[in-house]
Structures are given as structure tokens and as C-alpha cells.
Amino acid sequence: MTLKGKTAIVTGAAGVAALAAVRVLLEDGAQVGLVDADALRLDSLIRFLRGTTVAVPCDSADPGAVRQAFAQIEKVLGPVDILVNVSDVASSSRLESTDPGEWRRVLAAHADSAFNWVYAVMPGMKKRAWGRIVNVLPPGAKNGGADVGPAYAAAAGALAWLTFALAREASAGGVTVNAISPGPIEGSNAIEPLNESQRRQLLAQVPLGRFCKPEEFAHAVRFLVSPQAGFITGEIVDVNGGTVMD
């Protein structure tokens, strides 16, 4: 119960990875605001969670919607101490088939959404001199976009550098900002649409020979938001089965 008395927001909470993070935060004693654009799925999921929660449908790429959702969560749960930015929007389109709409959609789902939520929570965290922010990168941040399209890779790079900039800016205020770069996660939108041949091809690139379990991803979140991780900031933690080694 190391997070007893803390309030967390998890975005993209209807996705399998984010939902696993919600569960470990609740297990550790935090109150959790679940945010996702899919209101129906949020409503169905929250009934099965044990702990203090509130579900707020929100398009996180919309700054105005984020401001309203943030105010609603703080009204119910109190000041926010932890933010976990997750998006399950995937893209594998190559340049020739990436139209401007897809480019904008993927960048907005990852980089814009994370910025909007950090913009909302950071002032309060600095004021209270304690906060944890974890940005979850789409694939492609460290491998030049291998096996993903340019939009996905660009979103990963933008979010990685946003993490570094925020970590430096927030450090004097007692707030840590880190990122997780996961490999393919079982049940995620990066895996589910693939056919068997595509899955085998993707799996062949993972040295550990399997996909990441949502619970394994969630344990990385659990560590980075814990009091024990207070001297770690500006880091990208790889949870990828050895796909990228550095």
C-alpha cells in the first residue's frame, strides 16, 4: 500500500495495458481516475475494479475536454499526484499510404494527448512538491521506426523528447517524469489486428520469444510511480523482451 493517499490519472484506460496499470495502482492503495474516449467500455470496466475510482470519458487530444475531465477528477478524488499517459492507437502504414488524417490522428493520440494532461497536472504537482508522470511510448522511439509507420515512429520520438524536456523542467519541483517503451503487448491494438503470419514475423524479432504480458508492463509503471523511484527522472525504461538493447 505504498500509494495510500495518492490520486492517479491513467489515460487510455480502456486499453489492456492501461487497465493493467490501473489495477496495480489500486492494489498499492491509490485512488484512480480512468480516462478514455470510449465511454461504454469505461463504464463496463469500472464495475469490476476494486478500490476508489472514477471514470471520465474524454478525448485527450482536445485541450478543452482535458481541462473539464481534470476538474471533474479533482472534484471527486482530490489533487492529482500521479499521471500515466497511455494510448492504444496504433499505425503501421508506410509513407505512401499515410495520409494527412492518419498522421494527425496518431500524433494527436500520443504527443498531443500527453502534453494536454501534463499541462493540466504539472502546476499542482509542483506546488505540492511531489509528483510522478509516466509517458508510455509507441514503438519506434529507439529503432528508427522498424516495423511501424512514420506516424507511429514520429509520435514515439515526440513523446520521448517531451519526456526529457519535462523531466528537466519539473525536477526542481519534486516531480519526476519518465517513460516506458514497451514491446508488443498481448491483447493490444498493435497485436490484435495482425494475422497469424504477421504475428509470427513480429515475434521472431523478440529475443525472449513472446509478447509482453500486460501485468509485466504494469509492474514497470508501479515502480516508476513509487516513492522508491524518487531519484529516477528523464529515463526511458525498455520493457521489450530485448528487442532494443542499449
Average pLDDT over residues 181-194: 78
Mind telling me the catalytic residues? Answer: 152
* Per-residue confidence (pLDDT) for residue 241, from 0 to 100: 83
Residue 126 cell numbers, joined: 509542483
* Per-residue confidence (pLDDT) for residue 145, from 0 to 100: 47
| Number of compact structural domains in the chain | 1
**For the CA atoms of 49, 180, 195, 109, what is the dihedral angle to 10 degrees?**
80
In a domain, 41, yes or no: yes
Residues 176 and 178: their CA atoms lie apart, in Å, by 7
Residues 102 and 100: their CA atoms lie apart, in Å, by 6
Q: How confident is the model at residue 144 (pLDDT cuts 50, 70, 90)?
A: low
In a domain, 244, yes or no: no
Over residues 114-138, the pLDDT tens digits come to 999 999 999 999 999 999 999 999 7
Over residues 47-76, the pLDDT tens digits come to 899 999 999 999 999 999 999 999 999 999
Give the residue numbers spanning the domain of 111.
7-238
Q: Which residues are bridge partners to 7 per DSSP?
A: 31
In a domain, 246, yes or no: no
* Per-residue confidence (pLDDT) for residue 140, from 0 to 100: 54
What percentage of residues in the chain have a pLDDT greater than 90? 63
Cell numbers 499517459 correspond to 85
- What residues contact residue 114 under an 8 Å CB cut-off, 6+ apart? 11, 85, 135, 159, 162
Nearest CA-CA partner of 133 in 123, 122, 147, 144:
122
Whether the pLDDT of residue 173 is over 70: the answer is: yes
Q: How confident is the model at residue 149 (pLDDT cuts 50, 70, 90)?
A: confident
- Greater confidence (105 vs 80) lies with 80
Over residues 1-50, the pLDDT tens digits come to 699 999 999 999 999 999 999 999 999 999 999 999 999 999 999 989 99
Number of other residues whose CB lies within 10 A of the CB of residue 47: 8
- Which CATH number belongs to the domain containing residue 34 in this structure? 3.40.50.720
In a domain, 243, yes or no: no
In a domain, 53, yes or no: yes
